Structure 1
Amino acid sequence: MTQVQSAFGSSSRVPGIAAFNQPILLSGTTWRRRYQLSLVATDSVLILLVLALNMAASTAGASSGAGHLALGGAVAAGWMTAMSLARSRDARVVGTGAGEYKKVVRASVGTFAATAVLAVVLDLEHFRGMLVLALPAGTLLLLSGRWMWRRWLLHQSLLGHYLSKVVVVGRPADVRYVASQLARKSGPAYTVVGAVYEGKASPAALHAGDRLVPVVSGLRKIKDFVAQTGADAVIVAGPLQKGSSYIRELGWRLEESSTELVLASALTNVAGPRITMRPVEGLPLMHVELPHFTGGRHVLKRVMDIVVSVLALGVLAPLFLLLTLAIRHDTPGPAFFVQERAGKDSAVFRMFKFRSMVTTAEDELELLKEHDEGHGVLFKIRDDPRVTRTGRIIRKYSLDELPQLWNVLRGDMSLVGPRPPLVSEVSAYEEHTHRRLLIKPGLTGLWQVSGRSDLDWDESVRLDLWYVENWSVMGDLIILWRTFKVVLRPVGAY
């Protein structure tokens, strides 16, 4: 019989649950339906608005205004249909950011292509203006609308509203990892309200972010525990000793209360976007597509690197001059710091940075080894005494990284990629960690927008491996945008 641990007594009921959970309103299917209807309304208004303005401009003085109006209505209907077919309002992606934005862009590009074919086939000269103005402008408006709704949803989630309440089930280590990840990174999606450990375990409560949630041992009373916590979903955190047959039976039992069953696989830590389910005669197969480290996407990535780095170096030239003067005035020595780093396929290159430390920093490194906070692989220390006054400022806002735009232009680095490691770090890598070197290191990356120096080594490696195998041009653009926000509001920079 499933028993609640000592803090709740020996009863299978959980009388103390209310003490652990703040009241959460409009959770589960209720808020999702309302939120999806709000998205439909917003998308419809924005699409109709941009098309109406375009039609008003393109039909001014034309005799075929009624025909253009009908075609505009058809485009609006097609655009809304494309948004639905792309599942841009699916409960699994709303509020997630990158995934939601990608679906909006794909639906808009599909509409753009269909409209282009229609304009060519029907020889609609005035209608072609829609391709140049209305669809790009509409796409930006739709993305802006989703961004504003996401900001509102994030604010509501901080108040405890509009969240799906979940119970996490599995081995203690797996449960703790999944609960911590959900608390840190799920955004306006999930809140953990309880945990069920497989087997016997002593803790009566679990930290999920800054909240304490109740814990029970054993799997036989999951259904009752879910009912008591009011959970909308059960997340199975990794493999269970009872095997897949138990998970299937658990899904059947949860159906009665319309509670979702979610499986968390360690495989998704690296191969997430490349995973697809392919049923074969009732047998669900998880297919993992091979990552691609060459090809057209990488050519496009290189083109984007060249264009952006050239423009940035030109625009930022005055800032480079000011920083050079400030660094030289603060402490004697050169304004630039040059260091050997390991690039793609372990090729060594000279990386440029603005100098943020005293010129004797490398010689003083050994004296600070005992204060290392980087777990032996990557040297990190808060309040490093070698950092200069100007260095603290430029480090805080990542201005010391700007000269790496020259490395990007040269082809040593990319705008977005894994963190460029020291040559000495690479020699200490575990075998799988070398996969970070399958593509060029980046001026910024997931490590930059996820906490920078606050990340531990394992989390930094996990983020880099995920990026190496799953990057996309759209994902790079989103990371660049997030980098801009992080620079304005620095976190983990020291």
Structure 2
Amino acid sequence: MLRREEDANYIIFTYLSDIILTLVALFMAYQARLALPFGVQLTPELIHIDAGLYVTVVVIWTMVFFLLHVYDARHTLRWPDELRTLALAISLAAFVFAGVLYISYRDTPRLMFIYFILADFLFLIGYRWTMRLSLRWAGARQLSPRRILIVGAGSVGRAVAQKIHEQAWTGLQLTGFVDDDPEKQQRTIEGAPVLGGLNDTLSIVDDHKIDHVVFALPLRAHEALRDIVLRLYERPVRVFLVPDVLDLAFFRVTMEDWDGIPVMGLKEPVIDGVDRVIKRIFDLAVATISLLLLWPVMLVIAIAIKLDSPGPIILAQERVGENGQIFKVYKFRSMVQDADKMLDKVVVRTPDGKIIHKRKDDPRVTRVGRFIRRTSLDELPQLFNVLKGEMSMVGPRPELPFIVQNYETWQHKRFAVPPGITGWWQISGRSDKPMHLHTEDDLYYISHYSPLLDLQILIKTIGVVIRGKGAY
């Protein structure tokens, strides 16, 4: 496609390269343990390395790399994204491999394991960097450019052009635009000329030896494009359509075949299948470890709340969760008793009708409550909601039912996944934002979900909580 031709050949070639380099790393780690003067001197007879160990590595690395979508073009286009995804995949594979070694290969030297993981990091990262340099070199010399023509020089077309420029190192080359707007004729847009109108598309494709044609026009123009598209099929070009009538980031797009009829399916954004299993395992592990580490802190908070003001220590409040189901969310009490009866005094509507129900000067908040809210410690009991499966460590904000009653239709898409203790909303503004902007953050998270994104959000949440940014 427009990114890196995410096809079977690319995936197979990169996967085989990864496996071969990983096996080479294991063999070299074995040799290094015998040759390097670190640790107790060993002989080959003392290190049990057989074919089974190599097969184990292949199985683990294959499963982890595909589960974490290492070969997904979304994670390989930008170098920082590719590096983070690869580092996470190798780390998880190493963790699983360490467990296998402990159970079945206990005589494997620890230094050899360390050498292996370090070598694998260096080999796989080095391979990808070398591939990028090769593509950049080929792209700079136009050895195998893929020439692109964009039909439509409006906002959508310009956005596509910007992405193409970002990917120029891969060999993508924006030849120009075609557009019927007289004001755009003979102009240069995003560094590329407007070569003519829609009726000139076919001749431009032939004259400039175009490889890809991207239609970036409003829906009302698609009827007029039918003849152009059909005639393009007679030429050796690939045709792409960038729809602007829907924000497809809010949907999961699937392609289906209905007895020969191609159908594009638009579904609510969901995290399911293997991704759902990975997310649940991640939630259980993080929640359990967090409770084991933080129970002394939770005990101190409970005592402080009891001494500060009358009322229960933990509240169970109604929130709207996955699929719109009502559940009880647990929180340390941070307000005076009967705070819900004073809610009408703090709810604020913005001029455009949006609701903000959190204020810095909220009179209902207690002294201890102000501290635990600013540091988000009031949300620690939600770890039990995570264990129960009602919440996730990372996800959309759990919402009050009366807020949901005022939702617009598109905002209900956020209930397609379990709510989270933290989320994209927390690291990008927290309480400072109106509710509709929280929802936009939630939908962005759902459509871009990956285990790596969950890990990044959790890490960034620590910094946000320490700074007390946007919380009150």
* TM-score (norm. length: structure 1): 0.53
Q: Provide the C-alpha distance between the structure 2 equivalents of 1:194 and 1:103, rounded to a whole number of angstroms.
A: 36
Pairing 1:369–2:348 present: yes
What are the superposed Cα offsets for residues 191-220 of structure 1, whole Å, 9 maximum, x if unpaired?
9x999796659899xxx9xxx999979656
Pairing 1:245–2:221 present: no
Q: How does 1:444-455 map to 2 (within 5 A)?
A: 444-448=422-426, 452=430
Contact 2:318 2:326 (8 Å CA) reproduced? no
Q: Provide the C-alpha distance between the structure 1 equivalents of 2:293 and 2:89, rounded to a whole number of angstroms.
A: 29
Deviation at 1:270, TM superposition (A): 3.8
Q: How does 1:227-376 map to 2 (within 5 A)?
A: 236=216, 239=219, 241-243=221-223, 245=226, 248=229, 261=240, 263-264=242-243, 266=246, 268-272=248-252, 275-276=254-255, 285-286=263-264, 304-321=282-299, 339-344=317-322, 345-353=324-332, 355=334, 363=342, 366=345, 369-370=348-349, 372=350, 376=353
Deviation at 1:479, TM superposition (A): 1.1
Pairing 1:427–2:405 present: yes
1:52 aligns with one of 25, 28, 51:
28
Deviation at 1:47, TM superposition (A): 5.5
Residue matched to 2:76: 94
Deviation at 1:312, TM superposition (A): 0.9
Distance 1:41 1:306, change over 3 A: closer
Deviation at 1:261, TM superposition (A): 4.9
Which one scores higher on RCO, CA 8 angstroms, separation ≥ 6?
Answer: 1
Contact 2:154 2:217 (8 Å CA) reproduced? no
Distance 1:407 1:237, change over 3 A: farther
Pairing 1:417–2:395 present: yes
Distance 1:236 1:452, change over 3 A: farther
Deviation at 1:103, TM superposition (A): 12
Q: Provide the C-alpha distance between the structure 2 equivalents of 1:293 and 1:58, rounded to a whole number of angstroms.
A: 46
Residue matched to 1:483: 458
Residue matched to 1:17: none
Deviation at 1:314, TM superposition (A): 2.1
Pairing 1:379–2:353 present: no
Q: Provide the C-alpha distance between the structure 2 equivalents of 1:386 and 1:63, rounded to a whole number of angstroms.
A: 71
Contact 1:88 1:104 (8 Å CA) reproduced? no
Could you tell me the percent identity over the aligned residues?
21
Paired residue type of 2:361: P
Residue matched to 1:407: 385
Paired residue type of 1:415: M
Distance 1:396 1:139, change over 3 A: farther
What are the superposed Cα offsets for residues 416-466 of structure 1, whole Å, 9 maximum, x if unpaired?
333211110222234454454454322134444565557775665456457
Q: Which range moved further: 292-301 or 439-448?
A: 292-301
Task: Please give the root-mean-square deviation of Cα atoms over the aligned residues, in Å.
Answer: 7.2
Q: Provide the C-alpha distance between the structure 2 equivalents of 1:66 and 1:410, rounded to a whole number of angstroms.
A: 43
The alignment partner of 2:458 has SS state of: helix
The alignment partner of 2:356 has SS state of: coil
Distance 1:365 1:491, change over 3 A: same
The alignment partner of 2:421 has SS state of: strand
What are the superposed Cα offsets for residues 274-309 of structure 1, whole Å, 9 maximum, x if unpaired?
62476987x755466898899897677556544432
Residue matched to 2:9: none
Contact 1:254 1:260 (8 Å CA) reproduced? no
Deviation at 1:236, TM superposition (A): 2.4
Paired residue type of 2:454: I
Paired residue type of 2:360: D
Q: Provide the C-alpha distance between the structure 1 equivalents of 2:302 and 2:178, rounded to a whole number of angstroms.
A: 57
Please list every run of 5 or more consecutive structure 1 residues that lacks an aligned counterpart in the other structure: 1-27, 30-36, 117-124, 154-163
Deviation at 1:133, TM superposition (A): 5.9
Q: Provide the C-alpha distance between the structure 2 equivalents of 1:320 and 1:78, rounded to a whole number of angstroms.
A: 38
Contact 1:271 1:470 (8 Å CA) reproduced? no
Q: Provide the C-alpha distance between the structure 2 equivalents of 1:476 and 1:347, rounded to a whole number of angstroms.
A: 26
Paired residue type of 2:326: A
Deviation at 1:323, TM superposition (A): 5.4
Please list every run of 5 or more consecutive structure 2 residues that lacks an aligned counterpart in the other structure: 5-12, 36-41, 134-145
